[in-house]
């Protein structure tokens, strides 16, 4: 790998001042053009710049100055960037709302004079006086930003607005001061003060509605951030001290009272209570938490009080990771958005070109009123061709889809996965922890009643040996015996034999706990009846553990990893959706066969290595299938990376969740069909948005240019064009928000 690539830094930086899709393109192209920037991507809806750069060549501070030069700004303060952006947006919204109201108050009388009282004395001068502050006080931003863009040979929505209203205003001023210029040519000196004012008002109103709607699309982030309390109670030297959450450090002891939110991740050290973990698991029933149990930030304590030791704080908590994943996802771009960005980048110059051609055509072909109508048509084209609807079409749908997924416990890291998931026609499932609970438990123990151990119970000896073993199966036996209130017997000479089991001595006897291979190598005879039971257990997906004294069998133990209650139903739903379900596991054939049967899975492979899982996914892809991989362990990471759509279980390994592009917080397979349906709903919303955005411009621009005038004498008014432009943006955002309520 190139050394420069190794040292690059990736950051998501909030952007302020963007009002349209072309604004986003300007910021993106300016950032990407700087030396040291490897990659730059701006998301208009999320108002963020995702940038990868070489810190030896460029820093965020310099990048901020570059972006400021074209009329926008970056929030480079990492500590509270989100809060700063939210505060900025609130201020700007309040300011925009205030300016819109004042502009409308001035525009309304201008329209009344222009439409009904044109002949009153000094009518033109009254409209001039009313319109000037609308354009150059309340609408000043359009002209300032347009000039900044022009300095860098760029154009955006502000360019269109400034050109259209500026030309209409200047023409009106000329016609007011020099009406005889037109009168001498037999034409009436029309003024368009009211049109310019109303266009500004409509565009400001549209942006006001957009800002409000866009704030709603980010509500998922706000709700998640609201799950974490601002202050916590620390226990220091037996005193309770209330401190801001930012001051909490690892190993701090924290007190949680009834009804309070748990501030960070940790381990309970004193007390017990029931905790509402629906944020993590999606399950409504509270979970009993006792000493040694894990608690997570954002979950809610119920009735009891307890103390816990902080283990993960700040950005390391589960809640912080969820927020980061949602924010990153909402700021990512779907593949279709890359095409939209290219269109938006060339759209404004093309529209300016069309407006000029429209003007020339009217002057040449329009007869005696050609000049006036040409200017009117040019202004209308510039107004109606706003690319905002086009720019909002994809990101707003993506943001709402991500937010809805997060609310359902489905965390989606990037827009590409969300866009692709509905196409999945093959799903590979890991067994342990994915289909099954991943927690081996003793299903049954059958003792050989013929044998009697003097002085010590066989259960005590079994517990004494197994509690020294680190094997997961041993843990299952220990848990079972402790629940039966068995006391451990002292044992000596403990030894672990790789691939077979363990052995130890007690009371002058040698005891072995392990598989059938261990028993045979030790010369332990397995009675026919017990062997038959063992074979039956194996066929039912249980692992059989043998317990012997010297060469005599004491007991056989069935240990099983139970399938999750929802697994079979989820598989059935997926197959109804036309998705082929495969199970790949490293377990033996008998267990794989039994689990597959219980879950209703027709295709499975046993004794599969991690590399073989990835190869299997690749083989399905070569057959033309869109493959999803679902896993929870480090052993699944290769296959997760290979798959088109990768899904990790939230209770699995950190590595699996890092590699996967989706995470199911509850580790419930029933979430997978929901994720696929959400993908389909989001893609449909994107297509609907793009259709209406394109149709709007395809119809609006020719009508604005005057193609209907030769047919029926219709020429679109700039005021109506401004209203239609605002409505198109709002309708696209509203259609995206509709996703929230789609089942």
Point out the residues that are catalytic.
430
Number of Cβ within a 10 Å radius of residue 481: 21
- What is d(CA 413, CA 323) in angstroms, rounded to the nearest whole number? 11
On whether the CB atoms of residues 214 and 45 are closer than 8 A, the answer is yes
Residue-by-residue DSSP string for 617-685: HHHHHHTT--EEEEE-SGGGHHHHHHSSEEEEETTS-HHHHHH-SEEETT--TTHHHHHHHHHHHHHHH
CB-based contacts of 640: which residues, under 8 Å, 6+ apart?
A: 629, 631, 646, 647, 648, 656, 659, 660
- What is d(CA 177, CA 191) in angstroms, rounded to the nearest whole number? 11
On whether the CB atoms of residues 15 and 30 are closer than 8 A, the answer is no
Tokens 């449909």 correspond to 684
Residue-by-residue DSSP string for 431-452: IIIIIB-S--EEEEEEE-TT--
Helix 140-151 to helix 157-177 angle (10° resolution) is 120
Q: Taking Cα atoms as reference points, which of 338, 397, 416, 399 lies closest to residue 686?
A: 397
Q: Taking Cα atoms as reference points, which of 296, 295, 340 lies closest to residue 45?
A: 340
Could you tell me the end-to-end alpha-carbon distance of the chain, in angstroms, rounded to an integer? 46
Q: In three state form, how does the secondary structure of 12-52 look?
A: EEEEECCCCHHHHHHHHHHHHCCCCEEEEEEECCCCEEEEE
CB-based contacts of 409: which residues, under 8 Å, 6+ apart?
A: 280, 281, 282, 650, 664, 665, 666, 668, 671
SS3 178: coil
On whether the CB atoms of residues 447 and 619 are closer than 8 A, the answer is no
Query: Largest alpha-carbon pair distance within the chain?
Result: 128
SS3 102: helix
Cα 254 to chain centroid, rounded: 31
DSSP E strands, 364-450: 410-412, 426-430, 441-447
- What is d(CA 626, CA 643) in angstroms, rounded to the nearest whole number? 8
R_g of the chain, CA atoms, integer Å: 35
479 to 289, 679, 743: CA distances (angstroms) = 17, 42, 42
SS3 248: coil
CB-based contacts of 89: which residues, under 8 Å, 6+ apart?
A: 16, 47, 211, 215
Edge-to-edge, what's the strand order for the sheet holding 294-295? Answer: 239-244, 231-236, 253-256, 306-312, 265-271, 294-295
Tokens 């997961």 correspond to 472
Q: Taking Cα atoms as reference points, which of 77, 67, 68, 73 lies closest to residue 16?
A: 73
Cα 379 to chain centroid, rounded: 40
- What is d(CA 340, CA 704) in angstroms, rounded to the nearest whole number? 23
- What is d(CA 346, CA 340) in angstroms, rounded to the nearest whole number? 10
- What is d(CA 262, CA 732) in angstroms, rounded to the nearest whole number? 39
Which residues, listed in sequence order, are joined to residue 251 by a DSSP beta bridge? none
């Amino acid at each position: 790998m190139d050394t420069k690539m190794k040292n690059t830094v990736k950051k998501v930086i909030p952007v302020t001042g963007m009002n349209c899709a072309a604004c986003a393109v300007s910021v993106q192209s300016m950032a990407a053009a700087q030396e040291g920037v490897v990659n730059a991507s701006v998301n208009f809806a999320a108002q963020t710049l995702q940038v990868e750069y070489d810190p030896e060549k460029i820093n965020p501070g310099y990048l901020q100055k570059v972006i400021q030069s074209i009329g926008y700004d970056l929030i480079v303060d990492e500590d509270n960037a989100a809060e700063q952006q939210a505060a900025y947006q609130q201020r700007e919204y309040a300011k925009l709302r205030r300016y819109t109201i004042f502009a409308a108050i001035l525009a309304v009388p201008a329209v009344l004079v222009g439409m009904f009282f044109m002949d009153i004395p000094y009518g033109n001068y009254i409209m001039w006086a009313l319109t000037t502050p609308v354009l150059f006080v309340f609408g000043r931003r359009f002209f300032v930003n347009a000039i900044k863009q022009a300095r860098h040979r760029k154009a955006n929505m502000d360019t269109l607005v400034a050109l259209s209203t500026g030309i209409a205003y200047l023409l009106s001023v000329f016609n007011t001061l020099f009406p005889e210029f037109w009168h001498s040519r037999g034409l009436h000196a029309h003024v368009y003060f009211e049109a310019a004012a109303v266009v500004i008002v409509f565009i400001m109103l549209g942006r006001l509605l957009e800002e409000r709607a866009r704030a709603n699309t980010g509500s998922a982030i706000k709700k998640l951030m609201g799950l974490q309390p601002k202050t916590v109670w620390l226990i220091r030297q037996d005193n309770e001290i209330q401190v801001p959450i930012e001051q909490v450090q690892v190993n701090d002891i924290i007190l949680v009272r009834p009804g309070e939110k748990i501030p960070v991740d940790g381990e309970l050290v004193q007390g017990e209570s029931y905790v509402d973990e629906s944020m993590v698991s999606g399950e409504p029933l509270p979970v009993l938490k006792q000493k040694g149990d894990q608690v997570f930030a954002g979950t809610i304590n119920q009735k009891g009080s307890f103390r816990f030791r902080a283990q993960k704080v700040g950005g390391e908590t589960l809640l912080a990771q969820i927020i980061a994943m949602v924010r990153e996802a909402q700021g990512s771009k779907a593949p279709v958005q890359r095409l939209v960005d290219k269109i938006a980048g060339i759209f404004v110059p093309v529209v300016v070109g069309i407006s000029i051609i429209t003007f020339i055509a009217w002057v040449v072909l329009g007869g005696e009123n050609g000049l006036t109508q040409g200017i009117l048509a040019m202004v209308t084209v510039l107004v109606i061709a706003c690319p905002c609807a086009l720019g909002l079409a994809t990101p707003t749908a993506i943001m709402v889809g991500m937010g809805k997924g997060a609310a359902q416990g489905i965390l989606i890291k990037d827009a590409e996965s969300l866009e692709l998931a509905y196409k999945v026609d093959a799903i590979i499932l890991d067994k342990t922890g994915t289909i099954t609970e991943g927690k081996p438990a003793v299903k049954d123990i059958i003792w050989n009643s013929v044998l009697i151990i003097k002085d010590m119970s066989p259960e005590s000896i079994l517990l004494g040996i197994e509690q020294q073993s680190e094997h997961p199966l041993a843990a299952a036996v220990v848990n079972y015996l402790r629940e039966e209130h068995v006391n451990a017997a002292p044992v000596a000479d403990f030894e672990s034999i790789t691939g077979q089991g363990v052995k130890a001595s007690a009371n002058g006897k040698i005891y072995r706990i392990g598989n059938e291979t261990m028993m045979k190598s030790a010369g332990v005879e397995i009675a026919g009846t017990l062997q038959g039971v063992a074979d039956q257990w194996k066929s039912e997906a249980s692992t059989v553990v043998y317990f012997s004294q010297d060469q005599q069998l004491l007991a056989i133990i069935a240990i099983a990893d139970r399938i999750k209650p929802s697994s079979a139903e989820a598989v059935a739903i997926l197959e109804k959706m036309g998705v082929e379900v495969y199970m790949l596991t490293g377990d033996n054939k008998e267990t794989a066969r039994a689990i597959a049967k219980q879950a209703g899975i027709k295709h499975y492979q046993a004794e599969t290595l991690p590399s073989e899982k990835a190869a299997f996914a690749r083989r399905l892809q070569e057959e033309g299938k869109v493959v999803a991989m679902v896993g929870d362990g480090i052993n699944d990471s290769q296959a997760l990376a290979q798959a088109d759509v990768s899904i990790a279980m939230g209770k699995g390994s950190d590595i699996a969740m890092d590699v996967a592009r989706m995470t199911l917080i509850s580790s419930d397979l029933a979430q997978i069909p929901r994720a696929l349906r959400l993908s389909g709903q989001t893609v449909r919303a994107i297509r609907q948005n793009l259709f209406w955005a394109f149709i709007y411009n395809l119809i609006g621009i020719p009508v604005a240019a005057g193609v209907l005038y030769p047919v029926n004498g219709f020429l679109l008014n700039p005021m109506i064009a401004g209203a239609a432009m605002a409505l198109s943006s709002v309708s696209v955002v509203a259609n995206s928000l509709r996703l929230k309520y789609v089942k």
